[in-house]
Structures are given as structure tokens and as C-alpha cells.
């Protein structure tokens, strides 16, 4: 519309102009709020995901204790150390699948959370013994 008005005002049918808008970069306050929002969302969703994995591990331990599966294997001749080692290794890999996916997402999306990778890698050594101990307070899996 403005181009037509300027063509008529200048008596020049070949007159044209282009309008280009370039947004200003976001202010530091806005950029900081966007970063805080993404970090809090990642922490919240990661906490839910890791909580679900730990819930599944605890549920398996409680079901095993309620059904007497460990006792059945011990009576059959399995050593107690082999039983707990096999459980730990299996649960360790269950947790590490989630950790590898999380680290791959951090690296793939270039989120810059390189310091958290070490925390993720040592996380199973802390949470699995805690989960095993906590599983004894539950009488059933529900």
C-alpha cells in the first residue's frame, strides 16, 4: 500500500522499496529467564524419568522378596554374593541406559551441561545401594 502511494506521489511507476525488519537480540534478563526455564524443565522431567526407573527397580526387589525367589535360588545352591552381584549388575545397566540417553541428549542438543556428565556417571553407585536398602521398608510392591 505504501509503495503504491509513493509511486503515485513521485509519478514513477518503476519506484519500489523493500522493508526489512531485524529483531534486536534478546536482553540479558530475557536470555537468563529462558535459560532458567529450560534448566528447571530438564531437571523436572529428568527427575521424573529417573524416579520411574528407581521405582521399577524397587518394585522388582519387593516382588522378589514377597515371592521368596531369593530363598528359592539360595536353596538351589546359588551363593548370596552371586545373587546380589547379578542383581546389582543388571540394575546398573538398567540405570545406565537412562544415563546414556540423557548424556546423548545433552551432547546432541549442545546444551552445555558437561559438568553434569560426571554426576550422571557416578549416580548408579549411590542410588542402587540406597534403593536396595529402602526396598526393605515396603511390604508389597503397590
For the stretch 55-101, pLDDT in tens is 888 888 888 888 888 888 888 888 888 888 888 999 999 999 989 98
Asked if residue 2 belongs to a domain, the reply is: no
DSSP state of 86: H
Residue 119 within any structural domain of the chain:
yes
In a domain, 28, yes or no: no
**Cell numbers describing residue 129:** 545401594
Within a domain: 14: no
Q: Is residue 21 part of a domain?
A: no
**Number of compact structural domains in the chain:** 1
- pLDDT tens figures, 14-53: 877 777 888 888 788 777 776 666 777 778 888 898 888 8
User: For residue 23, what pLDDT is reported?
Assistant: 81
Q: Are 120 and 102 in contact (CB under 8 A)?
A: yes
Q: Is residue 129 part of a domain?
A: yes
Q: What is the DSSP letter of 12?
A: -
Instruction: Name the nearest CA neighbour of 99 among 65, 126, 132, 130.
Output: 126
Which domain does 85 fall in, by range? 41-137
Amino acid at each position: 500500500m505504501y509503495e503504491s502511494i509513493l509511486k503515485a506521489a513521485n509519478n514513477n511507476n518503476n519506484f519500489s522499496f523493500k522493508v526489512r525488519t531485524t529483531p534486536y537480540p534478546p536482553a540479558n534478563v530475557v536470555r537468563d529467564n529462558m535459560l532458567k526455564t529450560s534448566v528447571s524443565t530438564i531437571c523436572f522431567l529428568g527427575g521424573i524419568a529417573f524416579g520411574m526407573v528407581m521405582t521399577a527397580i524397587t518394585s522388582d526387589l519387593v516382588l522378589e522378596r514377597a515371592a521368596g525367589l531369593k530363598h528359592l535360588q539360595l536353596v538351589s545352591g546359588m551363593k548370596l554374593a552371586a545373587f546380589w552381584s547379578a542383581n546389582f549388575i543388571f540394575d546398573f545397566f538398567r540405570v545406565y541406559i537412562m544415563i546414556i540417553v540423557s548424556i546423548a541428549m545433552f551432547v546432541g542438543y549442545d546444551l552445555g551441561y558437561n559438568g553434569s556428565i560426571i554426576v550422571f556417571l557416578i549416580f548408579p553407585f549411590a542410588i542402587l545401594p540406597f534403593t536396595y536398602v529402602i526396598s526393605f521398608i515396603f511390604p508389597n510392591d503397590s
